[in-house]
Structure 1
Amino acid sequence: MKHFLFLTIILVINTLHAQPSSWTDTGIGGGGSLFSPTISPSNANIMYMQCDMSEVFHTTDAGLTWDNVHFKQLISTGGKHRMEFTSDPNILYTVNLSFNEDLQYPVKSTNGGNTWNTIDDPTDGEVWSIFADPSSTSRIIISSYKRLYISTNGGSSFIEKFSDADALLISGVFWDGNNIFVGTNRGLVLSTDSGSTFNLDPSNGIPANEGFLSFTGSKSGGITRLMGTTASQNDLYPGMNALDIEYYSTTLKRDFGVTNWISATAGIAIDDNLYCIASSINNSNVFYVGGTDPNTSYPVIYKTINGGSSWTPVFLTNNNQNIATGYSGYQGDEDWYFGEIVFGLAVAPNDANTVIFTDFGFAHISQNGGTSWRQAYVNSADQNPMNAPTPKDKAYKNNGLENTSCWNLHWKKDNSNNIFASYTDITGVRSLDGGSSWAFDYNGITYNTVYHVIEHPVNNILYAAVSSVHDMYQSTYLTDAKIDNGTGAILYSTDGGTNWQMFHNFNKPVIWLAIDPTNTNRMYASVVESTAGGIYKSDNINAGAASSWALTTAPPRTQGHPYNVKVLNDGVVVSTWSGRRTTNFTASSGVFISANQGLSWIDVSKNDDMYYWTKDITIDPNDISQNTWYVSVHSGWGGAANDKGGLYKTTNRGVSWTKFFDSYRVESSTVDPVNANNIYVTTESEGLWYSSNATNPNPTFTQLLQYDFMHPLRVVYNPFDPTKLFVTSFGNGIKSGITSSIPLPIEILSLNGIALEKCNLIYWSTNLDPYIKSFDLQKLDNKGEYKTISIIKAKEETADKIMYEFKDFNLEAQNYYRLMSTDINGSINYSAIINISQPNYLFNISEIYPQPVSDGFKFEVYSSEESKLYIEVYNTLGNRIYSFVNMVHKGNTRMEIDTKGWKAGVYAICIKNEKDARITRKIIK
């Protein structure tokens, strides 16, 4: 009698995950500096503001929700320029940034801000300010560093009207028919003839050698009232902002044609520093001025209702007296000192009751003249009540205002809902609902930035790379002066990220971590410092905080700026080292590998293309041998580092490279964990890119315009559901999207193995595909490598289902197989792996039904004799979520498993008998 075993594999069908059709803001709001808010004169619910991380934010419901203006239309100038409204809600003006060329040029929209076009630019890309007449569509003022220009024809042309030999800061403009009032660093510049001429007004009252920090005006009841905050002319310059608030001197007012400039400081605390002043254009009694209280570092807002005769504080931070807060507030996760300074302040031109201000991290809005305020950076349903301390550890949903950097995401391996997001400035946040909401519900992390979190594969301890230095290896953080004085460490958590403790204090920034899969007591850490930085190693992390660490040998050319460090399955260490600048970029960057735990390193960088500013390395998860790598590179500036940017690929661990994707600056790449054809590429200024034929020698890339932010950092697949993608970014938090799956041209419908008496029969079927060339049947050898044991040419049949088989007579106790399919263009795809055992008796299971599973599934087990069966269910991370032992009798036994508590996704059920014969099947819920 022949004894044989039917074995069915979990088959992950190769699919091409079409890129998401839309991306949703997913992270927590707030945390980055916001500037230059403005409000529409035609609808006070429409507002814009800028972020120093390149976004222009827009709301149509007074800050309840926000969206980004697409970076292909507008890029923020760092907060220097406001959105300028006109008498026609469709016609707007502002200044756009050409990021790579660092040019600032005026633009105009004629369709309400949907699209933007350039207008005349007499400054040649050096526009320092722009102001439009809210009662006209054609009058605009712009300025260069020294000159003022006016257009009276909607930007078709400009004429120079005023200049200063040293510098010209325009602090504000008030338009009043024929009269145009311009606040400058030299005082008031005035036109009384509709802009034909401008002259420095000689009026008295401005303190000697002072000019305007901020300037505004309003007219009602026949009174034209001007106001401004002042500072020494020596401290005023184009491009300054509220970070220069310490230069503040006083607040002045003037009723034009009636009085000279006089002090307007009654009611303002003598210690408070002020900067921004704002008003509507039609109420000369109501003005607002904002700044900071240096004693508390809290933001302050004052209001006058009598034209500046007296002021009253209206933003009452003590106990959040009149403020509905998000997570920032009195005694909150972030106290008021996070916001600290009023960076931007705007009043609706036709409604003195509608006010918005911005600061170091947030936006707040009042619609009743400052009587009460509400946050405008998290979902309004989550905001906290006024006149009560802001609670800590509360979770918040997003409202579209994401304005800080997220570096990485980590899912807890045993909990698909537990995600730790590594941030800059706000340090990090946790989600316990799979990314729907986020909280600062952890203790023990006091550093500015968490760069990377990993999890131990055995004991599930979390480790975090932390640093006092943010923005590491971005263009502003490459020099020793910015980095070497920083601190950092590795922290650890044994309770899923709730509590963190010191694991090892390097007193230097730590940016990346890796555990050696060949020895899980060994960890590597990338520590950044020009003289003592490098890849550090510990061989006894099981000792916890008592672990010992040593600096590995410095790879050739490097100068203390390591970035990624990864350990391959065979123990080879792969690292990238990023940019360092002194007077210029040093040739200290690149890709290096070590086969002896860092005792020595081999430089596998591609010539000098990687010598100056290398970023992430990606190991293709579909390549079992881990020979296929993608390396991201930035172009530098100022010499040899120029024109190096792109994505480079190797299929032989760096022996040779090809430039895979040409781009000015590439941050990272992510390969689909199921299909090597699909790859996402992130860039510094060109947004998100995608290819669906990455195994082709000449792949095609598409810019994903649905993703509206210019500087994504990393694309991360949800490890529990690979149809869900998350994108972290340098300044726009987290976005997420859902892929739709379509079959690849070749679809392996089934891959099965049968253990016969003298051989293993491996058989599979495919759908009809004219492009497939051949199949390589590969088997795992005793060196841990898959070797081809047979090449089977694709059949030229017309049947919908095409069958193949092969008999393997070279048997082991355990036999592992996989298929490699090759198409006519050379693209390669792999099946999942099957294991065929050679047991002494037979058991088998029927098909699982129903599929997909809803509340449960059923199957029948056939056994040739009475036996115990061990049944286990695993998720896609390999974590066991269900197990039981069942005694079966000879013949058929029906079984049923309840899945009501399981999340949607792909699972594997593994059944083995007492002689270690195994059957594995896929379950879809």
Structure 2
Amino acid sequence: MKYFQVKHTLFLSLILLTLSSCGGGSGSSTSTGEEPIQDQISTSGFILTQIRERQIADDPIERIYEPRGIGGGGAMSGFSISPYSSLWFVGTDMGTLFRSVDRGVTWHGINHNETTYSSDLDSAAGVGFSADPEVVFHAPAGRTPVRSEDAGVHWTKISSFALASGEKIKYWRAHSYDANYMYAGTTSGLWQSRDNGLSWAKLSGVSGDSRGTYIDYHQTGHIIYHATANGIYKSVDQGSSFTRVHAPSAGLTIRAFTAGRDLDKITFAYIDNNGKGACSEVQPFASDWGVTSMNAHYDHCGYVWLGNEAMSFRQTTQQAGDHIKMAENNSKVIFVTGSTAWIRQYGTKVWRSTDSGATWNLKLNQINYDVTPFAAWGQDKMEYSAAALDIGWDDSGYESFDVHLRSPASVGGTGYYFLHSSKNGGDFWNAPFTKYADTGARAKAKKWKSTGLEVTSVYRFKFHPTNPQIGYAAMADMGGMVTEDGGKSFRISKVGYNSNYDYAFDPDDDRVVYAVSGSQHDFPMEWHANAANGDEGGVYKSTNRGLNWTRLTPTNGTFNRQFLSIGYDNGSNAIYAGLHGTGIARSLDGGATWSLFNTGLPGGVKIIPQIEVDPDNGGVYALLAGDAPTFSNSSSTGIYYLAPGAASWTLLRGTVTRPSGVTAGLWYYPTSFAVDFSSGSSRNTLYLTDYENNSNWLATGVWKSTDRGATWTRQLQYTHPLTVTLDQVDPSNVYVNGLHSVDGSWGNGGLYYSTNGGSTWGKNTIPPYQSNARSATIDPNDRSKLFYTFFGSAMLYGPRPQ
């Protein structure tokens, strides 16, 4: 394989301007608590230096494969704004950390071989930024911290960061004027580095779950304020010792803490745990939501408290959920959000104060459940997206929320579908995960382009056989996407259930498309491989390129089931559809009537993940997977063929040659196949992939037959392959894609290809998504390019590896 090797550069400049100082105050405060409260001393001479952000250049490697899709539509967290450069980061529960070098205009996933993001969003932390803009920090799932010296392109494990068992990093905090100092708040304390994050030590004097850290820049040395549940602690010796300077009132705890200083004063702020008081307005809904939901709402709610230089605090009437944020150099602007645990989607609210908490204004209410019909925040104050307009605003709150540490004008937060950010302090919110590509007002069925923040799953991407501008992407959650410009822009086209799994076309009419749908996503991963007889679904038809769909299968118990595959023979007007458990449904009259057609297939569970129709003669090929979870039909799995006019399916499986050293069972769970349909072919060349799913270690992979299934030989050991794609113009080109662990803990996988019919294989390591590939589709408009589809990363478009 010829890898694309491009040396990237970063344009870096840092300018420190105009030193100034301001006077501090003096005073004391008393409060009940377990520990005595230190009397405050007068301080003055604080550094309020301005910092000019560095513009980070993009990495040329990131431009080789372009993201394609509609953007968003999945759970995101860890939204992080660099205060020292143009970098933004955000993660997704699908395992990818995304990077933007232009403040959210465009995004690129970080290569999975470098670092990933945690699917456990409760333990997922944002990215940390050093005052040296090239140096950034990350800790997937709060563990195994890593450090980058090239603005997030490459990452190295920080071996000196010896977290205790169960301890997790919650956030990072930099010293804005001395890159040597970095801090990390964890679930059990505060860590410090004095060499720009190369080595770390846990500070004594503070312990317990970190709730926020603030750095006060005194000219004689910085002061640290650190909050835990039981108080705010202060260090005047750069972390060598701490003294508690404020304790919350009896019975209360601190849930989140922040602060900001400017020429006028310093403001401290935190959220308490008095949820039943602060969120009492939800009590009328208790009978609708139940005790568990109500308690979760109260546990994630409290009042905002405000404090001054003397550490004298007062409770306000403002409620807050999980996040309270300020810029470190601004004492007036404070943001608070709701919580993902709040009922009625109240968690999508953001409030702002511009007068140090004296008054508050609601600056975002993503969806208002208190009006009928439900109403989204207006388009005069927020950008709409395909995920919102075509799917819905079902986003319960903010998994992450960040305010630019040096400028409260820049702010943003993520939820389960959306990232919304503002560059004017919350007066208007952008949707940086998508780009409108249509005319007129944003509305349903409009066209969109990707900015790179793709967090959806695309199972397959198919082009119409006679109009290569028309293509359909089968998706989880979103349902599906349609392109009418060869894959440059897309619109959402959801049949009706969670997932569109497959499409088939009428080659004589590019307006007609058939689709199968189901209510369960993510087949065949984990338990989704099991038979799904209880899940709803059906076969659908559209005569206007997916703008509207008509259900073809009945809604009775036989056919209201999840379907995984479909094929259409336009010569006989016959439709074949594969079910996720009961075999093959067939209609011989274009979908008017249906019956199960399993003659020749074994009894019991019959999962059919793929069906293909020979474009020349109408012969039908169908794949029978394993009857998970029993795996009792392994001798009968494989490709079945229905000859034109035949009354029974025939299994194209003779001898499956056991690979050397393999003792486990073979073909427990086939996932895909390919037939050489190229012009003039004999149809004797077949490929099949099977998926390790029954302790059959090292027994799975890519198989090939050149005698129409009489004998099969494994061409490549591959642990979890999902699709094999054959170039039907030049069948020597083969592409196999699937899942694997990039840390080497299990299996072989990734984006494999062969240019000699499977005799030898290369691996494309350039695309960032190395662990979650689903399929490959050669671009019929430019055969030098292809589309890769991914679980949780939508699609990438770029050069075919060779």
Determine the C-alpha separation between the residues in 1 that align with 2:778 and 2:509. 23
Q: How does 1:515-914 map to 2 (within 5 A)?
A: 515=568, 520-528=572-580, 533-542=581-590, 544=591, 546-550=592-596, 552=598, 559=605, 561-566=607-612, 571=619, 573-577=621-625, 580=628, 590-593=637-640, 608=664, 610-622=666-678, 624-636=681-693, 640-685=695-740, 689-695=751-757, 697=759, 699-706=760-767, 708=769, 710-719=771-780, 721-738=782-799
* Closer, same or farther: CA 106–645 of 1 in aligned 2, 3 Å: farther
* Closer, same or farther: CA 189–600 of 1 in aligned 2, 3 Å: farther
* Closer, same or farther: CA 393–194 of 1 in aligned 2, 3 Å: same
The CA deviation string for residues 213-236 of structure 1, in whole angstroms up to 9 with x for no partner, is x44333344425132364899xxx
Match in the other structure for 2:383: 325
Match in the other structure for 2:364: 315
Offset at residue 439 of structure 1 (A): 2.0
Offset at residue 346 of structure 1 (A): 0.9
**RCO higher in structure (CA 8 A, sep ≥6):** 1
The match for 2:504 among 438, 445, 454 is: 454
Q: Which amino acid aligns with 1:714?
A: S
Q: Which amino acid aligns with 1:62?
A: R
The answer as to 2:147 corresponding to 1:108 is yes
SS across alignment from 1:667: strand
Offset at residue 503 of structure 1 (A): 0.7
Contact 2:605/2:627, CA 8 A, preserved across alignment = no
Determine the C-alpha separation between the residues in 2 that align with 1:27 and 1:204. 48
* Closer, same or farther: CA 477–147 of 1 in aligned 2, 3 Å: farther
Determine the C-alpha separation between the residues in 2 that align with 1:704 and 1:134. 33
The match for 1:356 among 407, 412, 416 is: 412
Match in the other structure for 2:266: 223
Match in the other structure for 1:841: none
Offset at residue 391 of structure 1 (A): 2.3
Offset at residue 512 of structure 1 (A): 1.0
Offset at residue 635 of structure 1 (A): 3.8
The match for 2:109 among 48, 55, 68 is: 68
Determine the C-alpha separation between the residues in 2 that align with 1:67 and 1:729. 14
Contact 2:611/2:622, CA 8 A, preserved across alignment = yes
Determine the C-alpha separation between the residues in 1 that align with 2:611 and 2:206. 53
The answer as to 2:401 corresponding to 1:345 is yes
Determine the C-alpha separation between the residues in 2 that align with 1:25 and 1:215. 38
Match in the other structure for 1:906: none
Contact 1:456/1:520, CA 8 A, preserved across alignment = no
Offset at residue 339 of structure 1 (A): 3.5
Q: Which amino acid aligns with 1:694?
A: N
Offset at residue 342 of structure 1 (A): 2.2
The CA deviation string for residues 140-193 of structure 1, in whole angstroms up to 9 with x for no partner, is 45577767654444444444557999xx65454334466544555666676665
Q: How does 1:250-289 map to 2 (within 5 A)?
A: 250-255=302-307, 258-259=310-311, 262-266=314-318, 268=319, 274-289=321-336
Contact 2:675/2:683, CA 8 A, preserved across alignment = yes
Contact 1:95/1:127, CA 8 A, preserved across alignment = no
Unaligned runs of 5+ in 1: 1-15, 98-102, 234-242, 742-925
Match in the other structure for 1:40: 82
The answer as to 2:118 corresponding to 1:84 is no
* Closer, same or farther: CA 38–720 of 1 in aligned 2, 3 Å: closer
The match for 1:477 among 528, 546, 549 is: 528
Contact 1:68/1:709, CA 8 A, preserved across alignment = no
Determine the C-alpha separation between the residues in 2 that align with 1:75 and 1:693. 30
Offset at residue 721 of structure 1 (A): 4.7
* Closer, same or farther: CA 174–477 of 1 in aligned 2, 3 Å: farther
SS across alignment from 1:133: strand
Task: Compare 279-288 and 410-419 and name the one that shifted more.
Answer: 410-419
Match in the other structure for 1:862: none
Match in the other structure for 1:401: 453
Offset at residue 669 of structure 1 (A): 2.3
Q: Which amino acid aligns with 2:690?
A: V
TM-score (norm: length of structure 1): 0.65
Contact 2:459/2:474, CA 8 A, preserved across alignment = yes
Task: Compare 219-228 and 30-39 and name the one that shifted more.
Answer: 219-228
Offset at residue 377 of structure 1 (A): 1.9
Contact 2:79/2:412, CA 8 A, preserved across alignment = yes
Determine the C-alpha separation between the residues in 2 that align with 1:319 and 1:81. 28
Offset at residue 575 of structure 1 (A): 0.7
Offset at residue 561 of structure 1 (A): 4.0
Offset at residue 428 of structure 1 (A): 1.8
Match in the other structure for 1:205: 249
Match in the other structure for 2:41: none
Computing the radius of gyration over CA atoms, which structure comes out larger, 1 or 2? 1
TM-score (norm: length of structure 2): 0.74
The CA deviation string for residues 535-593 of structure 1, in whole angstroms up to 9 with x for no partner, is 22224243x3x3122262695597454322345668464314268459xx888695253
Determine the C-alpha separation between the residues in 1 that align with 2:272 and 2:563. 43
Match in the other structure for 2:174: 134
Offset at residue 196 of structure 1 (A): 3.8
Match in the other structure for 1:907: none
Match in the other structure for 1:300: 349
Contact 1:407/1:422, CA 8 A, preserved across alignment = yes
Contact 1:363/1:375, CA 8 A, preserved across alignment = yes
The CA deviation string for residues 780-829 of structure 1, in whole angstroms up to 9 with x for no partner, is xxxxxxxxxxxxxxxxxxxxxxxxxxxxxxxxxxxxxxxxxxxxxxxxxx
Contact 2:337/2:347, CA 8 A, preserved across alignment = no
SS across alignment from 1:593: strand
* Closer, same or farther: CA 524–362 of 1 in aligned 2, 3 Å: same
The answer as to 2:441 corresponding to 1:379 is no
Determine the C-alpha separation between the residues in 2 that align with 1:427 and 1:621. 29
Count of paired positions? 680
Contact 1:276/1:343, CA 8 A, preserved across alignment = no
Determine the C-alpha separation between the residues in 2 that align with 1:722 and 1:86. 44
Match in the other structure for 1:51: 92
* Closer, same or farther: CA 327–155 of 1 in aligned 2, 3 Å: closer
Offset at residue 674 of structure 1 (A): 2.0
Contact 1:579/1:614, CA 8 A, preserved across alignment = no
Determine the C-alpha separation between the residues in 2 that align with 1:305 and 1:587. 67
SS across alignment from 1:30: coil
* Closer, same or farther: CA 320–645 of 1 in aligned 2, 3 Å: farther
* Closer, same or farther: CA 323–122 of 1 in aligned 2, 3 Å: same
Q: Which amino acid aligns with 1:112?
A: A
* Closer, same or farther: CA 394–309 of 1 in aligned 2, 3 Å: same
Identity %: 22
Determine the C-alpha separation between the residues in 1 that align with 2:245 and 2:332. 23
Determine the C-alpha separation between the residues in 2 that align with 1:64 and 1:384. 22
Q: Which amino acid aligns with 1:225?
A: F
Determine the C-alpha separation between the residues in 2 that align with 1:649 and 1:38. 47
The CA deviation string for residues 42-85 of structure 1, in whole angstroms up to 9 with x for no partner, is 13x42111112222222232222222222222211235121100
Greater strand content: 1
Determine the C-alpha separation between the residues in 2 that align with 1:705 and 1:254. 50
* Closer, same or farther: CA 294–652 of 1 in aligned 2, 3 Å: same
Contact 1:690/1:703, CA 8 A, preserved across alignment = yes
* Closer, same or farther: CA 620–105 of 1 in aligned 2, 3 Å: farther
